[in-house]
Each structure stands twice: as C-alpha cells, then as structure tokens.
Structure 1
Amino acid sequence: MTDDCQFCRVVRDDETAHVLYEDDGTVAFLDRNPAVEGHTLVVPKRHREELLVGDDSTGVWETVQRVSTAIEAVLDPAGFSTVHTSGKLVGSVDHAHVHLLPRYEDDPVHIALERRTLRADTAERIASAVEAEL
C-alpha cells in the first residue's frame, strides 16, 4: 500500500467510504462521485496498477460478480456495465479498480466505441501471435 493512494487509504480505513463488501483480497465501495445510483468501485487490497496482467486478479472479478448480484437484488437495474482501464493514458488513480455501473433506462452513462472493420490479415497476425504466446 502507498500513503498517497486514495484507494489504499480506503483499504486501511484511513479514509471514509461506504463499503459494500470486503474479503481478504478485495474491497467494494460506493463511488463518491457516482455516474448512476449504485456506482461501485471494486479494488484489490494490495496496491497494484494493473488487473489484467498478473496472476492474482481473479478475486477482483469474483467480487464484481458477487456485488453485482446483490446490487441487482436491491436496486433492480436494467443491466450492468463494468469498466476497467489501465495505463498512463487513463484516469487519475493508479490503483487498479473496476467500475461497476448498474444501468437504468435513460441513465446518463454513455459508453461508445468508435468501430472500424477488422482486416483479415490483421486478425490473422494478431491471432497467430497471441496463440503462440499462450
């Protein structure tokens, strides 16, 4: 954990948060600036910058599933969006986290990706290289 990380401070109980769930490896708490009702952050207790690279991130995704099931029972949303981004180009918090967003009809959340056509040669190159890596 680091002293200057706001999520580490939540994990240590040095900063107040509305915790929904906690286990040995993760904490889920309501976002202070929610996009929608029930907007939750799920974080690993151990400070790390990346969830997708490494071998101990499964607990975060299990917590996302567990908490979303409870939120569904309590808030009855129309569905969910989960958002995880990493790297230097995104966000202001370098502690890995997942946004769990209950979705409602006419909510203000807009997640849009500009799409283009996948070229066959590009697909084959990427698929072949990833398959070899795996």
Structure 2
Amino acid sequence: MADAPDCEFCRIATGDADAYRVYEDETTVAFLDANPAVEAHVLVAPKRHVEDVFTTGVSEAVFATVDAVAEAFRADLGADGFSVVHTTGPLIGTVDHAHVHLLPRWEDDDLSLALPRKPLDEDRAELLAERLRKSTA
C-alpha cells in the first residue's frame, strides 16, 4: 500500500522495516517511536504515503487509531492522560510522511510541552475569528 520506497514510514507500513507495532488496520499503523520522548511514545501514520493528515482524506482513520492507542494508554499502562502532537508543512521535521505523536502522560512525568503564552488582544482576536468563521462556513 505504501508508495514511496525511500520513505522509512512507508517501509514500516509494508513490513519492509522493523518497528514495534502496537496497532494496525487497513489504513493506519501505530508503532513505538525509535527515539521516544517518554516511555510508550507512539507514532500513528497512514499506510499510504501522504505529507499532510488533514488535506489527504486520512484524518478520520488516523485519529480513530489515536483514540484506540490512547485508550490502551489508560487501560493497560495506567496513564493519567496523553498529549497529541502533529505538525504539517515544512515544519514537519525529518520524515515527510504524515504522522501524529501520541505520548502517554502521568501526573509526575517530566515531559514539557509548554507553549509560550501572552494575553489575547481583543481587537486582533475579533479580526481573526471573523476570518476563520468565513473560511469554515
């Protein structure tokens, strides 16, 4: 099913590269990250080579797999919660095959996914909300 033979994630999807698989269906594969940020850090990827989860018709399948693995984090690992990270475009990193990072979380873990914050500018917020409402209508 994978269509980019030079892509590491395509090779994992076809079974031509080793990975510790935790879930698989017709459309997606979930496997342990080879360089985990936390124990049980999982990558969820479509089997088909695509660069963006959201513009290629695979988001529903990918996030159904995220849901299944997140439930396993709770049921089997006793995780207190989980974090989901996905990046698109040129910011994607070293692998151009779309994927989602799923990280189990515990109250006492030392994982930091902090985002710098500043107060919302109300004038700018209204303009942004208006633009986004028009685009999503």
Q: 1:130 to 1:105 in 2, by over 3 A?
A: closer
Q: What is the aligned partner in structure 2 of residue 96 from structure 1?
A: 98
Shift of 1:54: 4.0
Q: What is the aligned partner in structure 1 of residue 85 from structure 2?
A: 83
Q: What is the aligned partner in structure 1 of residue 124 from structure 2?
A: 122
Moved over 2 A (4+): 52-56, 104-108
Taking only the aligned residue pairs, the percentage that are identical comes to: 51
Whether the aligned pair in 2 keeps the contact of 1:35 and 1:108 (CA below 8 Å) is no
Q: What is the aligned partner in structure 1 of residue 112 from structure 2?
A: 110
Q: Structure 1 length as normaliser, TM-score?
A: 0.92
- Equivalent of 1:68 in 67, 70, 85: 70
**CA RMSD of superposed structures (Å):** 1.4
Shift of 1:51: 1.5
Q: What is the aligned partner in structure 1 of residue 10 from structure 2?
A: 8
How many equivalent residue pairs?
Answer: 134
Deviations 1:42-101 (A, max 9, x none): 001111111133433111011000111122211101211111112213421111111110
Whether the aligned pair in 1 keeps the contact of 2:50 and 2:56 (CA below 8 Å) is no
Q: For 1:108 and 1:8, how far apart are their aligned partners in 2?
A: 32
> Which structure 1 segments of 5+ residues have no match?
none
Shift of 1:34: 1.4
Q: Structure 2 length as normaliser, TM-score?
A: 0.90
Deviations 1:108-132 (A, max 9, x none): 3110111112212211111111111
Q: What is the aligned partner in structure 2 of residue 41 from structure 1?
A: 43
Q: What is the aligned partner in structure 2 of residue 132 from structure 1?
A: 134
Query: What amino acid is the match of 1:44?
Result: P
The residue matched to 2:109 in structure 1 has which SS? coil
> Which structure 2 segments of 5+ residues have no match?
none
The residue matched to 2:90 in structure 1 has which SS? coil
